[in-house]
Amino acid sequence: MDAGDPDIGTLWELCMLFEFDREETADGIAEWLGPAEGLRILDCACGSGFPALELIRRGYDVTCTDGSELMLTHFRRNARIEGLDVRPELVLWEDLPRRHAEGFDVVMNRGGGNYIYAGAWDDEGLADQSTMAEAIGQWVACVRPGGRFYVDITRAEDLERREDQSVVHPTLRIGQHTVDIAETISIDRSTGIRTWSSRLTVDGIHSEFQRRSRYLRHDQLIEILKGCGLTDVRKTPVAGEYYDIYTGVRA
């Protein structure tokens, strides 16, 4: 909050505060992961560190990568605050297979269906379905044969809603600061474009953000996951997760 003007990383972190109980979610993921010993995990959209830092604190060996230096600046600050010595890697998804092919027992990529932002997080571009499938393939390529994959997607009932979904979150006090966030998600069915618009107000100063994406239905995600060579693809309940989770095993 004191590190300069709010950016997309600041907004994301504040949204996290509203949508997740961080400890509950990390416990839920840890339960799905099982014992930490000997498990090599890749979080290939580690962003500002949630839930990778919570998992590292629980003893998991998590390699953290992200393609945005801006998000990694938030990550490093959060790691410092937590007293964790973690060096995240700046790696674009397209470079993952070259760098980490079949290198992990578990690969996770969560945060609201990140493939919808493939190539479009730091600016306001628009990923199409083949770009999303390509990104997911690059993540799956890092799972060792027999290893597991974890990804999330907007809840089916939210994808089916026809009306805009607007939320005005309750005012937050963070240190000396007063923070308000209002979000709207609208889906244009004629173009298949989903628009997430947010207004962040810190101490009375407004910042507006907008990210547009094409959305995937659950059946389309399942097809893509199977097409990437995953078996046992299923919706998996995970305590504390806000979105729906799909998991699979690399054949």
Closest CA to 110 of 198, 236, 232, 250: 236
Entry field: residues in the chain: 251
Q: Does 39 bind ligand SAM (CB under 6 A)?
A: no
Could you say which of 33, 45, 133, 221 contacts ligand SAM (CB under 6 A)? 45
For ligand SAM, the closer of residues 58 and 205 by Cβ is 58
- The half-sphere exposure of 189 on its side-chain side, counting CA atoms within 13 A, is 6
Between residues 10 and 114, which has the closer beta carbon with respect to ligand SAM?
A: 114
Give the nearest distance from C-beta 116 to ligand SAM in angstroms: 9
**45 vs 133 by CB, closer to ligand SAM:** 45
- The answer to whether residue 28 forms part of the interface with ligand SAM (CB under 6 A) is no
Q: Using the rule CB under 6 A, which residue among 6, 12, 53, 224 binds ligand SAM?
A: 12
β 61-66/40-43 pair status: parallel
Nearest CA to 181 out of 168, 191, 194, 164 is that of 168
Q: Would you put residue 113 in left (φ > 0), alpha (ψ -120 to 50) or beta?
A: left
H or E segment to which residue 247 belongs: strand 244-250
Query: Does 67 interact with ligand SAM (rule: CB under 6 A)?
Result: yes
The only residue of 54, 66, 105, 183 in contact with ligand SAM, by rule CB under 6 A: 66
What's phi and psi for 158, nearest 5 deg? -75, -35
Considering only residues 86-145, where is the footprint of ligand SAM by CB under 6 A?
92-93, 110-112, 114, 117-119, 121
Binding residues for ligand SAM, rule: CB under 6 A, are: 12, 16, 45-47, 50, 66-68, 71, 92-93, 110-112, 114, 117-119, 121
